[in-house]
């Protein structure tokens, strides 16, 4: 870089240039992961996403200016307080011409965030850009969450595990399904995840299953061993996910939205068999790609899903300022 850029507050006049940067970033990412939404290769689409971020309550951001060019931008906004006193940089919240610039942009933007008391910082970063991920790591961020994608399997790639039967859930499974709904968040409260999100109650989970069991948008499978339900998984359209949004939403894909196995039954292959069943369901339903996500510190998930062929698309990084 010939001259060090000047960092200034993000203004309306910067939108078009920022949108071009973001569209170029997404185009580069899609050359590696073509299952991502091609719409965001157009600056008009990325401009709308940046405007959406800037329109959130208490949003703020900065741009890097070199001469008469915008060479980077960073925008963040808080989400609900269950994430702590937070600021999120979403998938459409940053793009730079050189990875190192993100450190300069964050240095200026974070000064305001911390002054406002927002000390939990989250950033959604394209997984393929290793230099950009490294720049965020060198800002004190850690690797919290993974969004991933893979192609639907071909014919005859259904897998299976001896001694485990995978079938569609039935109403008589609701008690087990409700308990499995708690098994995953209870696991993630433990080391090394240490999730602080509030746990649902068994009564709440059971009531939801009673109300929603016949919702045709969701396909639920259970794993049985020796006649007992030991695990469950849910498949649906990715558009029903609340966490895959904006540039991180591969439209038209299937979503492995949930999978859990009772603690005493883990390690026997039920989780993998459930994942393979959702992949087969996605293929048979006509989906070309399947998406899922997991906590990187969930040791089971972070090993099982890559073994099933899922490739990271976005990393959620996190920094806590004590």
- Whether residue 38 is found in the same domain as residue 177: no
Compute CA distances 116 → 78, 85, 97, whole Å.
11, 9, 29
pTM reported for the whole predicted model: 0.94
One digit per residue, the tens of pLDDT, for the chain of length 322 reads 456 899 999 999 999 999 999 999 999 999 999 999 999 999 999 999 999 999 999 999 999 999 999 999 999 999 988 788 999 999 999 999 999 999 999 999 999 999 999 999 999 999 999 999 999 999 999 999 999 999 999 987 777 788 999 999 999 999 999 999 999 999 999 999 998 888 889 999 999 999 999 999 999 999 999 999 999 999 999 999 999 999 999 999 999 999 999 999 999 999 999 999 999 999 999 999 999 999 999 999 999 999 999 999 999 999 999 8
Question: What value does the CA radius of gyration of the chain take, rounded to a whole number of Å?
Answer: 21
Which among 140, 165, 180 is the end of a domain?
140
- Whether residue 78 is found in the same domain as residue 159: no
- Whether residue 221 is found in the same domain as residue 131: no
Q: Which residues, in sequence order, are CB contacts of 101 under 8 Å at separation 6+?
A: 5, 64, 71, 72
Tell me the three state secondary structure of residue 267: coil
What integer pLDDT is reported at residue 1 of this predicted model? 47
Structural domain containing residue 35 = 6-140
For residue 21, is it within any domain?
Answer: yes
Task: Give the Cα separation of 221 and 169 in Å (integer).
Answer: 5
Q: Give the CATH number of the domain where residue 70 resides.
A: 3.40.630.30
For residue 146, is it within any domain?
Answer: no
Chain segment 166-225, per-residue pLDDT in tens:
999 999 999 999 999 999 999 999 999 998 888 889 999 999 999 999 999 999 999 999
- Whether residue 97 is found in the same domain as residue 132: yes
Percentage of the residues of the chain whose pLDDT score is greater than 90: 92
For residue 1, is it within any domain?
Answer: no
Task: Give the Cα separation of 86 and 319 in Å (integer).
Answer: 10
Task: Give the Cα separation of 143 and 314 in Å (integer).
Answer: 11
Indicate the DSSP class of residue 246: G
Alpha helices in the chain (DSSP H): 15-32, 43-54, 101-115, 130-137, 174-189, 202-212, 270-285, 299-307
State how beta strands 311-320 and 120-126 pair: antiparallel
């Amino acid at each position: 870089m010939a001259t060090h850029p000047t960092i200034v507050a993000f203004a309306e006049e910067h939108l078009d240039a920022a949108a071009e940067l973001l569209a170029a970033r997404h185009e580069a990412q899609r050359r590696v992961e073509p299952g991502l939404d091609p719409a965001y290769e157009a600056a008009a689409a990325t401009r709308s996403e940046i405007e959406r971020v800037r329109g959130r309550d208490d949003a703020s951001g900065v741009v890097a200016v070199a001469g008469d060019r915008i060479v980077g931008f960073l925008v963040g906004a808080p989400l609900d307080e269950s994430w702590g006193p937070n600021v999120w940089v979403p998938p459409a919240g940053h793009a730079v011409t050189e990875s190192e610039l993100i450190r300069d942009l964050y240095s200026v933007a974070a000064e305001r965030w911390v002054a406002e008391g927002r000390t939990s910082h989250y950033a959604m970063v394209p997984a393929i850009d290793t230099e950009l991920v490294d720049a965020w790591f060198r800002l004190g961020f850690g690797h919290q969450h993974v969004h991933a994608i893979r192609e639907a399997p071909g014919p005859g790639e259904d897998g299976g595990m001896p001694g485990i039967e995978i079938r569609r859930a039935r109403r008589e499974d609701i008690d087990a399904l409700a308990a499995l709904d708690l098994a995953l968040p209870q696991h993630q409260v433990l080391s090394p995840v240490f999730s602080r999100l509030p746990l649902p109650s068994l009564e709440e989970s059971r009531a939801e299953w009673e109300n929603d069991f016949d919702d045709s948008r969701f396909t639920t499978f259970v794993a049985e061993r020796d006649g007992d339900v030991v695990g469950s998984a849910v498949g649906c359209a990715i558009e029903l996910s609340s966490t895959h949004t904006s540039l991180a939403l591969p439209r038209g894909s299937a979503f492995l939205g949930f999978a859990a196995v009772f603690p005493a039954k883990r390690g026997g292959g039920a989780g993998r068999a459930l994942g393979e069943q959702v992949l087969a369901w996605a293929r048979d339903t006509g989906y070309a790609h399947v998406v899922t996500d997991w906590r990187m510190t969930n040791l089971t998930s972070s090993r099982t899903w890559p073994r099933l062929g899922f490739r990271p698309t976005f990393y959620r990084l996190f920094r806590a300022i004590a």
